[in-house]
A and B are shown apart, each in its own frame.
Chain A
Amino acid sequence: MGITTTIPAEIVYAAGWRPIDLNNIFIAGENPSQAVDKAEQAGFPRNICGWIKGLYTTLLESPEIEQVIAVTQGDCSNTHALMETWQCAGRTVIPFAYPYDGDYDLLKLQMEKLIKALNTDWDSVYLWKQKLDRIRAKAHKLDQLTWEKGTIDGKTNHLALVGCSDFNGDPDSYDLYLDELLASSEGQEQKGSVRLGYVGVPPITLDFYDYVKEQGGQIVFNEVQRQFAMPFDEQDVVKQYQKYTYPYSIFHRLQDMECEIKRRKIDGIIHYTQSFCFRQIEDLILRQKLDVPLLTLEGDRPGLLDARSRMRLDAFIDMLSY
């Protein structure tokens, strides 16, 4: 079961499906750049988000993915047209919408509809929640080691948390993967001169984390990736996805950012946005509301950071370190 972003994975697992986050297999694929090219050749405009184009090709080239759950509200409105192009290509799409205001009843209704569509029930969902929460607890531990002890670097943190959207379709293996990361973290300590937070969608650029580390920056907070791991102790599964900040208003996310900036003693924030994304507008709100220096970084296609982005990162880290 393909997913276009984080959805209640418990429901998919409870129904006996394996969720596969299309974003992860697109960007970790052999040639993500070519996936974007192919979507453009199919007619996707040049000035549309690279993730959308990558997802389009990725699904069409993954015959093992039988259906896809597309998030039509709370992620990106381009998904509407994306799912329509998939439907045109004969793929089955199940829409899922996070209510903008985070309304409990509406969210519960959406989850119920998904439960019905996949032919499962709440009891099974709760059983899976217990199992997934045990794995998430390890991801939370790993996140804590990142900012508190510095024994996990920003990239490892990013990979471990971002994967919690689907647990790579195999929660048992994911559990082991996290165990290994936790075991290997002992003894190592990352020491960057500047403590940075990364906010916004995960980067489409492939060398972002390595480059920041090379320049003396230490990423101690990956905002959205951390949200994918549901960093809250919440028994009610509907409330869990209500607390999940990413699909709702920027103010919801801001509260979380402000709290973590303080807790993690962050010197500066890197706000990543995709070219052509509505979230570029939200940048001005972050600049107004956050009281630490903020660098806006823009990415378009998969690949290495361009000279401009490197220059900006250099300047930002340099500025914060002297």
Chain B
Amino acid sequence: MNIGLDLGSRFVKAVFFQKGEMVEQRYYDTLEFYRHYGRKVNDNLVIDDKALGWPAYNKVVSTGYGRNLLQVQGGQVIPELRAHTEGAKYQTGLQDFTLLDLGGQDSKVIKVQKGRMVDFRTNDKCAASSGRYLENMALVLGMKVEDLSSCHSYPVTLSSTCAVFGESELIGRIIEGHSLESLAAGVNETIVKRVEPMLRELYSTTVIFTGGVAYNKAIRSMLEQSLDVKVIVPKYPQLNGAIGCATYIGT
């Protein structure tokens, strides 16, 4: 049994691989995880396997935001972008693509050629194109974040600069009387506008879309339309980094 662990900003994702196959996956709220199952000892993250109820394992490979803060004791750590690259290759079988990962707090665009990462961009100190942004905006609209997924028509124009000021801007639009669908489509379009320059810079005809935001079908179709690319969402978009870790063991 090998475990791949992605220590994300919103969720900790663990995947369990046996004989090259994923046999189980688990999600933990990041705060809960550190509160109950992990503690820092001399710059290492010591994980309480018993409390977690994890099966016996041979090896754990981890990655995540600020990975060097959190080296799992006794485990191996790989850089976050490498984990995502490996995960995308494993999940799609492709070797040439641009990977778009939109997670809880950050966005990453990685260009992969012949199976190797050749360039990347990440957002700078701003969560405007992240899952957290979508959650905030859905809350303002009184919708579930999942329901944003079906809204892509007649988007209202929203500034794509700030996840916090975006809220007050959205409230202004609500007052103007736009339909809920238009408002939600506007929120989705904001994400597309935000990542579009990075995707154009690192262009491939195939875009692999991962991270929690990849569940949003509207964003996916908007990306396809505005960039004229084929967007592939692998089976486990949110587990991509963890899968990259688990499969890294085998390489």
| Of the residues B69, B116, B122, contact of A308 by C-beta under 8 Å | B122
- Tell me whether A319 is interfacial, beta carbon within 8 Å: yes
Q: Given A293-B119, A308-B106, do A315 and B80 touch, yes or no (CB 8 Å)? A: yes
Q: Is the interface of B mostly helix, strand, loop or mixed?
A: mixed
Q: Determine the chain B residues whose CB is within 8 A of the CB of A275 once the complex forms.
A: 125
**Residue positions of A touching B, CB distance < 8 A:** 275, 293, 298, 300, 306-308, 310-312, 314-316, 318-319, 322
Taken together as a complex, chains A and B put the C-alpha atoms of A312 and B68 apart, in Å, by: 12
Q: Determine the chain B residues whose CB is within 8 A of the CB of A300 once the complex forms.
A: 125
User: Which residues in chain B, 112-162, are within 8 Å of chain A measured between CB atoms?
Assistant: 116-120, 122, 124-125
Contact A315 B81 (CB under 8 A): yes
Closest to B110 in A: A315
What are 9 pairs between A and B in contact, CB < 8 Å?
A307-B65, A307-B66, A308-B65, A308-B106, A311-B65, A311-B67, A311-B80, A318-B82, A319-B120
- Tell me whether B55 is interfacial, beta carbon within 8 Å: no
Minimum CB–CB distance for B80 against chain A, Å: 5
B contact residues, range: 10 to 19
- Tell me whether B20 is interfacial, beta carbon within 8 Å: no
**Residue positions of B touching A, CB distance < 8 A:** 65-69, 79-82, 106, 116-120, 122, 124-125
Closest to B106 in A: A308
Closest to A293 in B: B119
Q: Determine the chain B residues whose CB is within 8 A of the CB of A322 once the complex forms.
A: 116
Q: Determine the chain A residues whose CB is within 8 A of the CB of B68 once the complex forms.
A: 310, 314
Contact B67 A312 (CB under 8 A): no
Taken together as a complex, chains A and B put the C-alpha atoms of A319 and B118 apart, in Å, by: 7
Minimum CB–CB distance for A266 against chain B, Å: 16
Closest to A214 in B: B68
Contact B125 A308 (CB under 8 A): yes
Q: Is the interface of A mostly helix, strand, loop or mixed?
A: helix
Closest to A294 in B: B119
Taken together as a complex, chains A and B put the C-alpha atoms of A275 and B126 apart, in Å, by: 12
Closest to A300 in B: B125
Contact B124 A310 (CB under 8 A): no
Q: Determine the chain B residues whose CB is within 8 A of the CB of A319 once the complex forms.
A: 81-82, 116-120
Taken together as a complex, chains A and B put the C-alpha atoms of A300 and B125 apart, in Å, by: 10
Closest to B120 in A: A315
Taken together as a complex, chains A and B put the C-alpha atoms of A316 and B119 apart, in Å, by: 8
Contact A308 B124 (CB under 8 A): yes
**Inter-chain pairs besides A300-B125, A308-B65, 20 sampled, C-beta below 8 Å:** A275-B125, A298-B124, A298-B125, A307-B66, A307-B69, A308-B66, A308-B106, A308-B122, A308-B124, A310-B68, A311-B65, A311-B79, A311-B122, A314-B79, A315-B79, A315-B120, A318-B81, A318-B82, A319-B82, A322-B116
Taken together as a complex, chains A and B put the C-alpha atoms of A249 and B118 apart, in Å, by: 29
Minimum CB–CB distance for A273 against chain B, Å: 10
Contact A315 B82 (CB under 8 A): yes
Taken together as a complex, chains A and B put the C-alpha atoms of A232 and B46 apart, in Å, by: 54
Taken together as a complex, chains A and B put the C-alpha atoms of A318 and B117 apart, in Å, by: 9
Minimum CB–CB distance for A278 against chain B, Å: 16
Q: Determine the chain A residues whose CB is within 8 A of the CB of B79 once the complex forms.
A: 311, 314-315, 318
Taken together as a complex, chains A and B put the C-alpha atoms of A28 and B67 apart, in Å, by: 28
Q: Determine the chain A residues whose CB is within 8 A of the CB of B125 once the complex forms.
A: 275, 298, 300, 306, 308
